[in-house]
Amino acid sequence: MRVLNSLVEPRIGGPHLRSLAVAKQLREYDVETVFLLPAGSDEFEELATEAGFDVVRPSLPRLHPPKDVVKNLKYMMKYLPATKRICDVIEEYNIDIMYASMTLNFQAVVAAYRSSTPIAWFFNDTSTPWPLTEITAQMAGFMADEIAVAADAVHDYYFSNDVTSRTIYPPVDTEEFNPDKIDQDSVSLREELDIDESTPIIGTVGNINPVKGHKYLLRSLPDVINKIGQVAVPIVGKILDTREEYITELKRLRSDLGLEDNVYFVGQRSDIPRIMADFDIFVLPSVREACPMAVLEAMAMQKPVVATRVGGTAEQIVDGEHGWLVPARSPSVLSNALTEALTNPEKSWQRATAARSRVQEKFSLNQCVESHYKMFKELNNTQSKYD
């Protein structure tokens, strides 16, 4: 069985890493994946090629934010020729299933529909604006043979209750994110940042983006420090060129709140398990999410998690059992939860231990691979909607 996995963003992100991890294990089921990428960064192409996968890049245009009118006009002008090129790829590689593995996968879906190739369309976000939400939902209902979502909350964001979808949660590799397998001889984050052994570390991981709610985290910290003393807060994540204004705003807020000795902007890192191993608390202050990988990774690392109740976080964490869930955009409530987690080590340990067990039971890579194989196998035995 050959699957064409279409990714609409060339830069490496959560969907890319998930797709590659799943594709590697699907080989054990005789499912071979070919990756379809638009123009842009070569990072993921290099990663997938090194793993032995074919990567096809037939000069596909990319959809841009609504304010980029000129770029989106060019996208529309190139739309039909691009779908024809994807049709050629489907024929050349003898593709059995089109896996549109990110939400705004219009070109790939139309090409597969025209080629009578069964379509699985995966919706992985809760940030797509209207009217694109309506357009994608209508197209999926008409063209997709299978609709999959990253969380029940993602279904609710796009679809009504009468639309059937399959929930496939993003996976976490519980062997990679295993607190018992961290190299203790490597340099720790605490040593790297010269953080005193007595200072608790409250860490977060995610691209520097307004939806991640960093400013609410910063505003919660003075109250935490006032209650328990000094804390260190490393913010780990890539700073995109398009977010320079936002990082400047965050640094200004850090200064205004007197947190320059507490908050560290660490940047992008590849050693996330090693980084998380030094966290005393993991915090997710986001204002919008689908099913955040960083939460699952922190749970796998057996860290107490304080997260905002947005998107699929309530599907990951049962409040009071596996961590703390708090309202978004509420620094005072976030501060109270962080303080409780830091001042109640036994409670934090119990919830962290339960969190790792929950990840192993519900969010493992093996379960994600099996869910994909089941979906692809069922699709391979059906005709596409076009027929």
Is the pLDDT at 114 greater than 70? The verdict is yes
Q: How confident is the model at residue 386 (pLDDT cuts 50, 70, 90)?
A: low
Give the pLDDT score at 135.
94
Q: Is 161 exposed, middle or buried (0-12, 13-18, 19+ CB in 10 A)?
A: exposed
pLDDT at 64 over 70: no
The whole-number pLDDT of residue 68 equals 72
Q: In this predicted structure, what is the pLDDT of residue 240?
A: 79
122 versus 64: the higher-pLDDT residue is: 122
Q: What is the pLDDT of residues 157-203, one digit of tens each?
A: 999 999 999 999 999 999 999 999 998 878 899 999 999 999 999 99
**What is the torsional sign of CA 6, 173, 126, 168?**
positive
In whole angstroms, how far apart are CA 326 and each of 204, 229, 348, 356?
Answer: 15, 22, 16, 20
State the average pLDDT over residues 366-374: 96
Mean pLDDT of 51-73: 80
pLDDT band at 39 (very low <50, low <70, confident <90, very high): confident
Q: What pLDDT does residue 5 have?
A: 98
Q: Which residues pair with 146 in a beta bridge?
A: 120
Q: How would residue 303 be classed by pLDDT, with cut points 50, 70 and 90?
A: very high
Mean pLDDT value across residues 320-347: 98
Residue 384 pLDDT: 60
Average pLDDT over residues 320-330: 98
pLDDT value, residue 241: 79
pLDDT confidence of 41, banded at 50, 70, 90?
confident
Check residue 66 and give its pLDDT: 66
Binning pLDDT at 50, 70 and 90, where does residue 70 land? confident
Give a three-class secondary structure readout of the chain: CEEEEECCCCCCCHHHHHHHHHHHHHHHHCCEEEEECCCCCCHHHHHHHHCCCEEECCCCCCCCCCCCHHHHHHHHHCHHHHHHHHHHHHHHCCCCEEEECCCCCHHHHHHHHHCCCCEEEEECCCCCCCCHHHHHHHHHHHHCCEEEECCHHHHHHHCCCCCCCEECCCCECCCCCCHHHCCCCCCCHHHHCCCCCCCCEEEEECCCCHHHCHHHHHHHHHHHHHHHCCCEEEEECCCCHHHHHHHHHHHHHHHHCCCCCCEEEEECCCCHHHHHHCCCEEEECCCCCCCCHHHHHHHHCCCCEEEECCCCHHHHCCECCCEEEECCCCHHHHHHHHHHHHHCHHHHHHHHHHHHHHHHHHCEHHHHHHHHHHHHHHHHCCCCCCC
Question: Does residue 215 contact residue 253 with C-beta atoms inside 8 Å?
Answer: yes
Q: Which amino acid is residue 174, in one-letter code? A: T
271: tokens are: 């050693």
Q: What does the pLDDT average to over 98-125?
A: 96
Q: Give residue 382's pLDDT band: very low, low, confident or very high (50, 70, 90).
A: confident
Q: Are 303 and 140 spatial neighbours (Cβ–Cβ below 8 Å)?
A: no
Query: Residue 72 has what pLDDT?
Result: 66
pTM: 0.91
What is the pLDDT, as a whole number, of residue 126? Answer: 94
Q: What does pLDDT average to over the chain? A: 94
Is the confidence at residue 387, as pLDDT, over 90? Answer: no
> Between 239 and 323, where is the model more confident?
323
Average pLDDT for 215-227: 98
Q: Give the pLDDT score at 69.
A: 67
Whole-number pLDDT of residue 81? 87
Residue-level pLDDT at 198:
96
Compute the half-sphere exposure of residue 292: CA atoms within 13 Å on the CB side of its CA. 29
Residues 91-110, buried b or exposed e (16+ Cβ, 10 A)?
eebebbbbbbbbbbbbbbbb
**Alpha-carbon dihedral sign for residues 375, 100, 211, 131:** negative
Q: What is the pLDDT of residue 73?
A: 74
pLDDT average, residue stretch 287-306:
97
Mean pLDDT of 353-377: 96
User: Confidence band (pLDDT; 50, 70, 90) for 327?
Assistant: very high
